[in-house]
Chain A
């Protein structure tokens, strides 16, 4: 049941993207309960996720950027 801090940070990041399994979430919760450092990291990490959601980031996809690049080169 006990996991390392290293594993906990990975699980914490996975949780931010909703990709942790039930068992992993349980392991993480247990670890955060025991470990102050990871607990504070997890708090900041969750805050970062909510900031990213709040900012409603709009990005261009890689293919759209490639299209832009080729169009620019043609113009050159």
Chain B
């Protein structure tokens, strides 16, 4: 009984930490769906605004991030509604054969290849991205920041050192710790490694 009680801990909202904790995770999710980083950024920002506005409706039975993702999902749907409502955009053009004079079994070319793993790859990679962001979220703040700048944003060692006021050997130690922690974390959450 006690365990049950503990597992149903009420969650609270901390809007001050939203950007630091969830912006990358939400952004990665949005980019996967709208394929445009500017639009994705706007959607994430709108999600935070909406979250702030409806914070009083938050009951605390879902984790903060789950709640924000749910809002973001609505925002993505709204976005597609909006662009589709503009006249002509909703029109779906289908072209069964790209060369009208192609010969032979053109129908077979249109059928999905049952052995293709390409479609699954995209889904799997997105899940992998979420798993990585989950693990980055568990790192100490400074390590997460350095790893982010180096690996995801690809900023040079020199520039990171200048921006954060650390020396290169400092940076490599932090990178090392972050990478070791990530390997352990992904080992549990993602079995490929």
* Chain A interface residues toward B at CB < 8 A: 9-10, 13-14, 16-17, 19, 44-45, 47-48, 51-52, 54-62, 64-65, 68-69, 71-72, 75-76
Contact = CB atoms under 8 A, between A and B. Distances in A.
Interface in B151-165: 151-153, 157, 163
Contact of B19 (A10, A51, A57, A72): A72
Contact of B52 (A58, A62, A75): A75
Nearest to B151: A52
Contact of B37 (A45, A55, A58): A58
A56 B31 CA distance: 11
Given A48-B186, A57-B129, A71-B45, 13 more contacts: A14-B172, A19-B157, A45-B179, A51-B132, A51-B190, A51-B193, A52-B132, A54-B128, A58-B152, A59-B24, A68-B45, A72-B48, A75-B49
The listed residue with most B CB atoms (<10 A of its CB), out of A58, A64, A68, is: A58
Interface string B167-181: 001001001100100
17 contacts: A13-B172, A44-B183, A52-B132, A54-B125, A55-B132, A56-B129, A57-B28, A57-B133, A58-B31, A58-B37, A59-B153, A60-B44, A62-B145, A72-B48, A72-B49, A75-B49, A75-B52
Interface residues of B, number: 43
Contacts of B183: 44-45, 48
The listed residue with most B CB atoms (<10 A of its CB), out of A19, A45, A54, A57, is: A57
Nearest to B164: A62
Interface string B19-39: 110011001100100000100
Interface of B: 15, 18-20, 23-24, 27-28, 31, 37, 40-41, 44-45, 48-49, 52, 125-126, 128-129, 132-133, 145, 148-153, 157, 163, 169, 172, 175-176, 179, 182-183, 186, 190, 192-193
A11 to B, nearest CB: 9
B31 to A, nearest CB: 4
The listed residue with most B CB atoms (<10 A of its CB), out of A14, A54, A55, is: A55
A56 B48 CA distance: 24
Q: Which 10 A-B residue pairs are closest in the complex by CB-CB distance?
A: A59-B152, A55-B129, A55-B128, A58-B31, A57-B152, A59-B24, A69-B19, A68-B19, A47-B193, A65-B19
The listed residue with most A CB atoms (<10 A of its CB), out of B19, B45, B48, B149, is: B19
